[in-house]
Amino acid sequence: MPARGEFSSRFGFLMAASGSAIGLGNIWGFPTNAASNGGAAFLLVYLVLVFGLAWPALMAELIIGRHAQSNAVRALQGLARGPLTRRLGTIVGFAGILTVSLILSFYAIIGGWMLAWAVEAPARLLGWEAASSWLRADGLSRNVLFDALFMGLTILIIMAGVRNGIEKWGTRLMPSLFLILLGLIVYVMTLDGAMDGLAVYLIPDFSEALDPQLIISALGQAFFSLSLGVGTMLVYGSYISPRESLSTVGWMVAALDTSFAFLAGLLILPAMYVALASGVEIFDASGALVAGPGLIVAVLPALFDTMGGAGGIISVAFFILMSIAALTSSISMLEVPVAYVVETRGISRHRATLLIGLLITAISLTIVANFGVLFDSVVTLTTEYSQPLLGLFFAVFVGWIWHRHGVLEELKKGHAGVEHTLFWKFWPFYIRYVCPVAILAVYVQLIWF
């Protein structure tokens, strides 16, 4: 079997794992969700859910991964106590691989749009009018080409492996992402209307904060945002050095992801109200703020158009930001099936990546060609139904199937005194009782209401 990859440093892991977590979900999901659901009150609910439920679940994946030193399927099988739990491990592991491959196939479509928009402004500035309108229009040929291009970039990085691909690009791209985001926030804050957006984002309205519907969407958002339930964090965990304290890096990833979501809100909401002040429609037919892809490819470009020459530059910066955020997440998705195939079928990383990458590209292009029928269903199925359910099973594996002693031994590596920390006092209880019950409650709501 080929030697397994390992991140070279804590910083390398943090950039890679937060690169996975910080993605399109943070930039368009969190801010609009917050603005439409009570502003800072949503932020509070979200923080409670992230640190009360999603972070414990993230820890479960990291711990399983590093313990098993293996892909998701083998890792879960390895924790089994008998044939029944072994079979459960196989099913959950494979369901994770399937789910993450489907997530990648819709994510690549949006990643492709971001790339297309990133080159649109330069084309316009160069006077290439035809190219610019082709890049703007939501046409099949553009979507196919840029979807394939986005998948191509993802494949190239994953081919290069853990250190030379995932870690290298994570440490390059994540700081750039941070700087571009800060620059954009500062600029947008100076424009007319920005303060109205800030008020909508930050003034709490508690009347909606405890609505069950809102809690469901906040939990879904938290699971998607931390890349949970599909084996991504498990596989990244398996590349963490045994000298590293898992409890420390785990909370750092959760904190980085949440901080980025919060920062993204400081850009998106003010930008939407600046757009409103310039006459762009930012509410949909039902009166809610435009969210999701519509926000990114309709509202914001319209805003950039009103800014004259500066708009072109801002537009490029913004869409490069989106492309980077998408790419550091998409590589973490492709790594899940690739790690499985490399480790169980003995195929080289190059071949495995190419094979699986092309397969997912084919699925993605099928969705592009049948966008109206397939896109929303694939998103709902994977992110709303599959991810939380699989997250529940990961919690069950760590809380009920794996021996508590084994979990502690794993955590002690890199953190000898972990037994006496607050983390070890609360977390085992959380992962055994609170996480499964809470996820189940949300799930029941989702299915029955």
Bridge partners of 283, per DSSP, are 289
Instruction: Specify the stretch interacting with ligand PHE by CB under 6 A; choose among 52-60, 133-141, 168-176, 225-233.
Output: 225-233
Report the residue from 224, 304, 427, 443 that binds ligand PHE according to the rule CB under 6 A. Answer: 224
How many C-beta atoms lie closer than 10 Å to residue 384's C-beta? 18
Q: Does 112 bind ligand PHE (CB under 6 A)?
A: no
Q: Which is nearer to ligand PHE, 135 or 222 (CB)?
A: 222
Question: 215 with 39: CB under 8 angstroms?
Answer: no
Minimal distance, residue 347 CB to ligand PHE, in Å: 23
Q: Does 100 bind ligand PHE (CB under 6 A)?
A: yes
Q: Assign residue 38 a region (left: φ > 0; alpha: ψ between -120 and 50; beta: otherwise).
A: left
Q: Does 227 bind ligand PHE (CB under 6 A)?
A: yes
Minimal distance, residue 153 CB to ligand PHE, in Å: 16
Q: Which is nearer to ligand PHE, 154 or 329 (CB)?
A: 329
Among the listed residues 261, 236, 268, the one whose alpha carbon sits nearest the alpha carbon of residue 20: 236
Minimal distance, residue 235 CB to ligand PHE, in Å: 10
Instruction: Specify the stretch interacting with ligand PHE by CB under 6 A; choose among 3-11, 185-193, 328-336, 402-410.
Output: 328-336
Question: 322 with 23: CB under 8 angstroms?
Answer: no
Report the residue from 333, 341, 395, 442 that binds ligand PHE according to the rule CB under 6 A. Answer: 333
Q: Does 337 bind ligand PHE (CB under 6 A)?
A: no
Q: Does 318 bind ligand PHE (CB under 6 A)?
A: no
Amino acid at 167: E
Minimal distance, residue 177 CB to ligand PHE, in Å: 12
User: Which residue's entry shows tokens 């909370």?
Assistant: 251
Number of residues located near ligand PHE, criterion CB under 6 A? 16
Q: Does 230 bind ligand PHE (CB under 6 A)?
A: yes
Which pair of tokens denotes residue 3? Answer: 């030697």
Mark out the alpha helices in 306-416 (DSSP H runs). 309-345, 349-369, 371-379, 387-396, 404-412
CA distance 339 to 293: 30
User: φ, ψ for residue 207 (rounded to 5)?
Assistant: -60, -30
Q: Does 197 bind ligand PHE (CB under 6 A)?
A: no
Question: 296 with 264: CB under 8 angstroms?
Answer: no
Q: Does 232 bind ligand PHE (CB under 6 A)?
A: yes
Minimal distance, residue 221 CB to ligand PHE, in Å: 9
Bridge partners of 289, per DSSP, are 283
Q: Assign residue 279 a region (left: φ > 0; alpha: ψ between -120 and 50; beta: otherwise).
A: left
Amino acid at 227: S
Task: Please give the residue whose beta carbon sits closest to ligand PHE in the complex.
Answer: 23
Report the residue from 5, 19, 25, 399 that binds ligand PHE according to the rule CB under 6 A. Answer: 25
Query: For binding to ligand PHE (CB under 6 A), which residues are involved?
Result: 20-21, 23-26, 100, 103, 224-225, 227, 230, 232, 329, 332-333
